[in-house]
């Protein structure tokens, strides 16, 4: 299965929900009028796009319809694809320009954080980079063991301490090992923290200071892993973490299991955070780099039966 086909298959539930309803709605109209835009806005909100984003999309569509003299409601779907592509475009690349570079992976328990780290390590290794993992989630039972399993699958080394150890100490040792082994990328797991626990946010700050002291000037990505199935709750989590953790991007998991893929738009519009990867399945290569055009096409491409 090709790159685009994977994303298209992974977004099937969202596409069937959003595109199916929008197509049906558009077919009920013989002209483009205010009632059409009101119904479209309502459908977008129901798809977890968020009120602000839905309003902005419809305002942009109104302007383009007028500007281009479009009168056929069936052309709205193509316009929608165009507008959404522009809206979620941005700097979606990982910036790993130093040796070593650091990826700090954060997020609450249950979002697929450890799995994401394993898949990311495997992807980077296939790209020819040497990777070392740091098991700094020392609080949750079995977190270290889970990461060890993924390290073995990806065939990359892992630095770990005993359960309950100081996470910052694990990060320090991982950085030291990376420098000694001339590794390209350090990926550090962190405790699955609730975003309203101040002490855990303080710990994140401590880890960041350790990285800055051990590798001054290094490329650092701080990726928040979010579960797409939680919809608008994912946006709220991202908002809290953005304030506390200096996020550089989002990894959105479990997109294949939900009709709430519209949350990607809300994250971009409301928070200005790029989605860098999306999880569209269980396999190791189902963590895909986010591509705005592919995403919009997978969601809003007109189906033959439409």
Q: Known binding site for GTP: residues?
A: 107-114, 189-193, 253-256
Q: Which segments are annotated as binding site?
A: 107-114, 189-193, 253-256
Please tell me whether residue 280 adopts helix, strand or coil conformation.
coil
Max Cα–Cα distance, the chain, nearest Å: 68
Q: Which long-range contacts (CB under 8 A, 24 or more apart) does 75-78 make?
A: 76/22, 76/26, 76/32, 76/36, 76/40, 77/19, 77/22, 77/23, 77/26, 77/300, 77/302, 77/306, 78/300, 78/302
Chain mean position to CA 129? 22
Q: Are 107 and 224 in contact (CB under 8 A)?
A: yes
The H or E element spanning position 20 is: helix 12-27
The helix/strand/coil state of 15 is helix
Contact 57, 38 (CB under 8 A): no
Query: How large is the C-alpha radius of gyration of the chain?
Result: 21
The closest of 302, 301, 225 to 4, measured between CA atoms, is 301
């Amino acid at each position: 299965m090709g790159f685009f086909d994977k994303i298209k298959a992974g977004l099937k539930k969202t596409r069937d929900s959003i595109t199916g309803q929008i197509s049906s709605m558009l077919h009920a109209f013989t002209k483009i009028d205010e009632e059409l835009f009101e119904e479209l806005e309502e459908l977008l909100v129901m798809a977890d796009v968020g009120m602000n984003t839905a309003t902005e999309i419809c305002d942009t569509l109104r302007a383009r319809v007028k500007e281009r003299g479009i009168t056929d409601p069936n052309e709205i779907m193509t316009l929608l694809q165009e507008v959404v592509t522009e809206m979620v475009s941005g700097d979606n690349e990982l910036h790993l320009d130093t040796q070593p570079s650091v990826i700090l992976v954060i997020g609450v328990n249950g979002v697929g954080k450890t799995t994401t780290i394993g898949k990311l390590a495997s992807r980077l290794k296939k790209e020819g980079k040497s990777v070392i993992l740091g098991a700094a989630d020392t609080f949750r039972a079995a977190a270290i063991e889970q990461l060890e399993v993924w390290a073995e699958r990806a065939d990359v080394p892992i630095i770990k301490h005993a359960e309950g150890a100081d996470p910052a100490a694990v990060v320090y040792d991982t950085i030291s090992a990376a420098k000694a082994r001339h590794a390209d990328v350090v990926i550090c797991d962190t405790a699955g923290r609730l975003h309203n626990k101040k002490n855990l946010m303080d710990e994140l700050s401590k880890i960041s200071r350790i990285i800055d002291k051990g590798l001054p000037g290094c490329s650092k990505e701080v990726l928040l892993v979010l579960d797409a199935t939680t919809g608008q709750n994912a946006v709220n989590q991202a908002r809290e973490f953005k304030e506390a953790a200096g996020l550089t991007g989002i990894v959105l998991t479990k997109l294949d299991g939900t009709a709430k893929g519209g949350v990607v738009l809300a994250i971009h519009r409301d928070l200005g955070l790029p989605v860098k990867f999306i999880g569209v399945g269980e396999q190791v290569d189902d963590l895909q780099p986010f591509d705005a055009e592919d995403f919009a096409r997978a969601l809003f491409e007109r189906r033959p039966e439409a």
